Amino acid sequence: MWGTTFLLAVREIRRHLLRSFLTILGIVIGVWAVVTMVTLGQGATAAVKQQISSLGANVLQVRPGQGFGRGGGGPQPPDFKIEDLDAIRTQIVGVQAVAPLVQSTGTAVYNAANWSTTVNGTNREYFTAQPWTFTGGRIFSPAEEQAGKAVCIVGNTVRNRLFRGIDPVGQRFRIKNISCEIIGTLAPKGQGGFGNDQDDIVLMPYKAVQRRMTGNRDVRMMMISVDADYDSQRVQASLRDLLRERRHLSDGAEDDFNIFDTKQISDTLSGTTQILTSLLGAVAAVSLLVGGIGIMNIMLVSVTERTREIGIRLAIGAVAREVLLQFLVEAVTLACLGGLLGLFLALVSTLILAPVLKVPFIFDPQINLVAFIFSALIGVVFGYFPARRAASLNPIEALRHE
């Protein structure tokens, strides 16, 4: 009986193709919108996590001042010293690596090409705090780091601007007034979490930058890698206490430094993106209800048109349950067809929009299955009333219907 009922439903849908398409249009748009919004939202969440993780996993970035700048209005807070890094490395449990960042800017020149870039002075532990793939060469040796030798590791942007078609490793170029030997090249990372080009960078031993560029022993920023087995919040608390002690801050004084936790920011941004995705999906799901109303409306019209047919079926022995099942299956079939068409359009649109929005395409079987099941339930809910009306018709009155 189920197979016959389904064939009757398909025959009736094929008999009125245009009307059937217009009937399911609301379901199509609803499923399309919900799946597209959720899929793109998940891609945006993954993109946010990827950008934040490019800053380093379980990394604390410590800067002077109460925000990202050095503060304003009062005296400028002092930078850090190398001795602060040594104290952190030896006195705080759970720290894997402590890397200084001594920053400067300058014009890099190679033959006739030049490019203004950022120079970061750091140590070997930088590559533990912020893992970075090398496309060639090596990191600083302990002897080069200790002596402050003028050796450089260049990012992909600097490489493309100065050394087009040339392997930079082993070449010498000039940055400001320093002749620097290139010992390594970094793989591209792209844009960072705040829109900066992470590949526009030259890395040197921090002592070389201090002696020959900044002219002091100050450290502008510290990158601290936290062991994943330790609680990051406890490490931050110990770090804050140590820095307050070393910077001679009284109990009532505010911190004159800030600790930026990349993992915490990643979790916050990811959570916010997921909430927005859920809200957009909920708004788009309203169109599914509109589609269900459309199905109920057309099915009521169909019952009126086929009143005489229903009367004949009831008169020759069909029971009310069979008539109800016929119209209910027809409504569910329409809704399922709309759901399948909506899923197909969502797949095509997300494949097109994901590269445009620069987010990864993430196929989620769960949201696709939920959207399809929900569309089928819409057919059941909004198809039941017309089916019940058809099943409750009086056979004699139905046969008299013109």
| Cβ atoms within 10 Å of 295's Cβ, excluding its own | 25
DSSP designation for 194: T
φ and ψ of 24, to 5 deg: -90, 0
pLDDT per residue over 137-178, tens digit each?
999 999 999 999 999 999 999 999 999 888 999 999 999 888
| Ranges of each domain in the chain | 2-51+267-400, 78-255
Return d(Cα 106, Cα 95) in angstroms, integer: 32
Give, for 218, the enclosing helix (H) or strand (E).
Answer: none
| Cβ atoms within 10 Å of 82's Cβ, excluding its own | 16
Name the pLDDT band for 108 (thresholds 50, 70, 90). Answer: very high
pLDDT per residue over 359-388, tens digit each?
888 888 888 888 888 888 888 887 777 777
- What percent of the chain lies above the pLDDT cut of 90? 31
The answer, yes or no, to whether residue 401 has pLDDT greater than 60, is no
The answer, yes or no, to whether residue 285 has pLDDT greater than 80, is no
358: alpha, beta or left, given left = phi > 0 and alpha = psi -120 to 50? left
Residue 224 identity (one-letter amino acid):
I
* Residue in the block written with tokens 């793109």: 40
- SS3 state of residue 359: coil
